[in-house]
Amino acid sequence: MADDRDRPRAKKSWREIDQMRGKGRGGDRDSARPSSAASPAQKSYRAALERAFESGTLAELAKTLARPEEPRAPRPAPVPQPPPEPATPAAAAAEPVASAAPPAPDPAAVAAVADRENRMKLLARIKESEGRDVITRAIDAFLARYPKLPDDFEVLTKALSHKDDEQVATALTAIEALLAREKPRRARTLQGQLRFLEETHSDPAIRTRAATVRSRL
pLDDT at 22 over 70: no
Cβ–Cβ < 8 Å for 24, 56: no
pLDDT value, residue 12: 59
CA–CA dist 112, 110 (Å, integer) = 5
Give the model confidence (pLDDT) of 57-111 as tens digits.
Answer: 656 656 666 555 555 656 766 766 767 666 665 555 555 555 667 787 888 888 8
Cβ–Cβ < 8 Å for 194, 214: yes
pLDDT value, residue 81: 72
Gyration radius of the chain over CA positions: 60
pTM metric for this prediction: 0.52
Give the model confidence (pLDDT) of 116-149 as tens digits.
Answer: 999 999 999 999 999 999 999 999 999 999 999 9
CA–CA dist 194, 160 (Å, integer) = 8
8-state DSSP, 172: H
Cβ–Cβ < 8 Å for 160, 135: no
- In whole angstroms, what separates CA 119 from the centre of its chain? 38
pLDDT value, residue 62: 63
pLDDT value, residue 1: 46
